[in-house]
């Protein structure tokens, strides 16, 4: 009597085991926790600390004002002592300080630069009343905005909101070029071309439509293009060398670390502890600072962020070239043997 083997059980539509469900839930919980920490922690812990400002006036008055500021906001400001108003304004325009307290004329005055940081300008204005009482004025100290934000966007909302699209633009460029274009060199060229066209579009929208930027349109376009190119090429280079792991590493670095720590919405010095310094070493933070410099400060203070972006751009290009060389098939033994024979026959 012959026997037939029982058909194998079809497990393609069977429910997943409960341990797999538990692992998925754990992964999702960790992911949402990391997202919350990445985006909320810098804002929750944001405060005024070690923000560079100038205090202008005679040495005794400057020392007295420094003591008052240390009492009101301990470790809040890094004081740069200058002799007069002109020196303080020069430091503000050169982006070496965010504002100044001018005591040189006898009547205290707070000089701000909302284009450098609306949050710092607001903090300086908020202590003006207290400073007035300290100096015996009885009213708020007069405040003057030396480098204001554009009248069409007095809160700087467009510049702050534009930080995320720059990161997303570089990320999407790397994603689409990876899917649609073959060859690391062609992908790199495509990323550079998109950086130029994207820079032209983003700068035009921010400057001519939203009114969020001043200054040279060409310089603003260059700042946006350099930022997008640095982000896109870095992610493309990591993907070219490490595959999907490299893409994930680059995307996480730019989106979960670089964007929240960019300090574009406030100021790098207002972020907690070391995070502001780290953010300025990544393309999103450097790009935001570069765009502020080109838009409002005649490119003063642009050297450092431009250098950071150029370094990331170079790194991404090198990684793309390394990935391209790695993927090239080595010449076979038969090919190397045929080539001398062909030359001999000729």
The model's pLDDT over 28-78, given as tens digits with 9 standing for 90+, comes to: 899 889 888 888 888 788 888 889 999 999 988 889 888 888 888 888 899
Residue 145's SS3 state is strand
Q: How far apart are CA 263 and CA 45, in angstroms?
A: 12
Complete DSSP assignment for 327-346? HSPPPPHHHHHHHHHHHHH-
Instruction: Say how far residue 159 (Cα) sits from the centre of its chain.
Output: 12
Task: Please report how many Cα atoms fall inside a 13 Å half-sphere around the Cα of residue 221, on the Cβ side.
Answer: 13
Q: What is the pLDDT of residues 283-292, one digit of tens each?
A: 999 999 999 9
Nearest CA to 97 among 82, 107, 75? Answer: 82
The helix or strand, by DSSP H or E, that contains position 78, with its residue range, turns out to be strand 77-82
Average pLDDT estimate for 155-161:
91
Tell me what pLDDT residue 334 has.
45
Average pLDDT of the residues of the chain: 87
CA distances from 271 to 47, 49, 156, 217 (A): 7, 8, 18, 30
Pairing of strands 109-112, 77-82: unpaired
Q: Which of 130, 268, 246, 129 is nearest to 178 (CA)?
A: 246
Q: Residue 333: is its pLDDT beyond 50?
A: no
* Least confident interval from 29-38, 150-159, 321-330, 332-341: 332-341
The encoded tokens of residue 211 equal 């009114």
Higher pLDDT residue, 251 or 337? Answer: 251
């Amino acid at each position: 009597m012959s026997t037939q083997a029982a058909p194998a059980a079809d497990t393609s539509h069977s429910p997943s085991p409960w341990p797999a469900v538990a692992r998925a839930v754990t992964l999702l919980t960790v992911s949402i926790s990391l997202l919350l920490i990445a985006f909320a922690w810098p804002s929750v812990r944001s405060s005024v600390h070690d923000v560079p400002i100038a205090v202008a006036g005679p040495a005794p008055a400057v020392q007295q004002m420094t003591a008052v500021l240390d009492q009101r906001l301990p470790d809040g400001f890094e004081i740069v002592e200058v002799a007069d108003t002109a020196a303080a304004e020069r430091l503000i325009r050169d982006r070496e300080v965010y504002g100044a307290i001018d005591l040189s004329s006898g009547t205290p005055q707070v000089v701000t630069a909302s284009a450098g940081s609306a949050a710092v300008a607001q903090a300086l204005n908020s202590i003006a009343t207290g400073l007035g009482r300290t100096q015996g004025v009885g009213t708020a100290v007069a405040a003057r905005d030396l480098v204001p934000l554009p009248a069409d966007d007095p809160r700087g909302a467009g510049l702050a909101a534009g930080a995320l699209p720059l990161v997303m633009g570089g990320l999407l460029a790397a994603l689409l070029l990876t899917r649609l274009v073959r060859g690391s060199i062609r992908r790199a060229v495509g990323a550079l071309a998109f950086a130029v066209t994207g820079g032209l579009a983003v700068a035009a929208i921010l400057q001519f439509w939203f009114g969020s930027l001043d200054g040279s349109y060409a310089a603003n376009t260059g700042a946006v293009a350099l930022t997008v190119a640095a982000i896109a090429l870095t992610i493309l280079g990591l993907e070219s060398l490490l595959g999907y792991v490299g893409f994930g590493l680059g995307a996480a670095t730019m989106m979960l670390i670089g964007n929240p720590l960019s300090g574009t919405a406030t100021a790098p010095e207002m972020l907690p502890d070391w995070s502001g310094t780290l953010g300025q070493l990544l393309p999103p933070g450097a790009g935001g600072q570069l765009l502020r410099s080109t838009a409002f400060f005649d490119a003063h203070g642009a050297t450092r962020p431009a250098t950071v972006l150029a370094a990331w751009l170079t790194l991404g290009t090198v990684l793309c070239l390394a990935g391209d060389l790695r993927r090239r098939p080595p010449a076979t033994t038969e090919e190397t043997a045929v080539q001398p024979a062909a030359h001999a026959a000729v």
